[in-house]
Amino acid sequence: MTESGGLDARLQWRRGALALDLDIALPPRGITAVFGPSGAGKTSCLRAIAGLESGSRGSVRFGGELWQDSARGVFVPPHRRRLGYVFQDAGLFTHRSVAGNLDYGYRRAGQPAQLDREGLVDRFGVRPLLARRVDTLSGGERQRVAIVRALLSDPALLLFDEPLSALDAAARDDLLGRLETLHASLAVPMIYVSHAIDEVARLADHLVLLDAGRVVAQGPLQATLTRLDLPPALSGAVGAVLEGIVVGHDAEDHLTELAFAGGTLWLPRRGDAVGRTLRCRIGARDVVLSRERQHASSALNQIRSRVVAMAAAEHPSQCLVRLDAGGCALLARITRRSWQALELEPGSEVWAQVKATALGG
């Protein structure tokens, strides 16, 4: 087992019809997303790391601490693992007020002085809710309280189980923004389970792809999502995630211009200030390839790139093409017929056309 200082988990168990067999190694910093189709075992994976899944056998090590080693009969119970867990349904205590919920873990952690309790309460907009009963809160408010509650228990590892999945679009967007800020300011590593690729693309640094109870790929986000050998169940998720800097806004057309290593991109206007770093996901099926730059196309974005590799896609009519644009990886899903008609091969110069409307809102 490697001493990454992060999380190393090798676990096997059965849960109903699903046989889980996990081998995960995560870095000690940043957000790791566990992504996969529903029923892939994402939540079970998170629960096993927390020690909530009885029946999982194997070993879990975190930051030099041994949490579980079934061969040696070691099992550290969840309350001694120093972790924060944000459940899909928030899991707030209905017999306590919002403030009572926040205090629960904070008191038990010994009210650590280095935690900025008031700052966290304000940052997640929880202050006006403190005196409220938990069952009068909206879904978004619940999750915000649950996140602050977990942070106040002074965790060394934060686990999120699809915290946004039950929220409406506005609440989801709001919380996603807050989590992005948290990501930038918090040194505690986080594991974030999700089945929504746009959340993953915005938050994660590292990615673990699960399918049918097994890890099919893991590694840095961009590299993993642009792999050509992912199973069909994950085909909707493949694509590039570009990181760029906001260089300007077009107020009249409501567009934002993003500069990245391979050029610039226009996307639907976002609220971010000029100079801010922004991530943008370009799904493989939203990319059109052409040999020449188009002058009468509705696609706002045309990125000069070079073909790196091609692989068969799950449907026999299609293929996946990996491109390089100034050092950034792009992925395009096109038909085999187009591949042949354009006489493409590794090394070919192409223009990747991307509709701005496909770049989220």
Query: Can you give the binding site for other proteins, defined by CB under 8 A?
Result: 50, 52, 77-80, 82-85, 87, 89, 91-95, 104-105, 108-109, 133, 135, 149-150, 153, 159
By C-beta, is 147 or 321 nearer to other proteins?
A: 147
By C-beta, is 146 or 289 nearer to other proteins?
A: 146
Give least dist CB 50 to other proteins, A: 6
Give the Cα separation of 161 and 90 in Å (integer): 9
Give least dist CB 143 to other proteins, A: 13
Give the Cα separation of 296 and 308 in Å (integer): 27
By C-beta, is 152 or 303 nearer to other proteins?
A: 152
Give least dist CB 207 to other proteins, A: 24
What are the b/e assignments for 146-176, b being 16+ CB within 10 Å? bbbbbbbbbbebbbbbbbbbebeeebbeebb
Backbone phi and psi for residue 293, each to the nearest 5 degrees, phi listed first = -65, 135
Nearest to 211 by CA among 176, 177, 238: 238
By C-beta, is 92 or 278 nearer to other proteins?
A: 92
Output the CA–CA distances (angstroms, integers) from residue 254 to 116, 189, 267, 303, in the order listed.
Answer: 38, 36, 9, 21
By C-beta, is 85 or 192 nearer to other proteins?
A: 85
Q: Which residues pair with 309 in a beta bridge?
A: 322
Give least dist CB 152 to other proteins, A: 9
Q: Which residues pair with 211 in a beta bridge?
A: 214
Give least dist CB 97 to other proteins, A: 12
Give least dist CB 193 to other proteins, A: 14
Give least dist CB 115 to other proteins, A: 14
Give least dist CB 46 to other proteins, A: 11
By C-beta, is 182 or 282 nearer to other proteins?
A: 182
Give least dist CB 156 to other proteins, A: 12
Are the C-beta atoms of residues 193 and 209 closer than 8 Å to each other?
no
By C-beta, is 136 or 298 nearer to other proteins?
A: 136
Contacts of residue 182, defined as CB under 8 A and 6 or more positions apart, other chains included, come to: 123, 147
By C-beta, is 151 or 328 nearer to other proteins?
A: 151
By C-beta, is 96 or 214 nearer to other proteins?
A: 96
Total Cβ atoms within 10 A of residue 54: 9
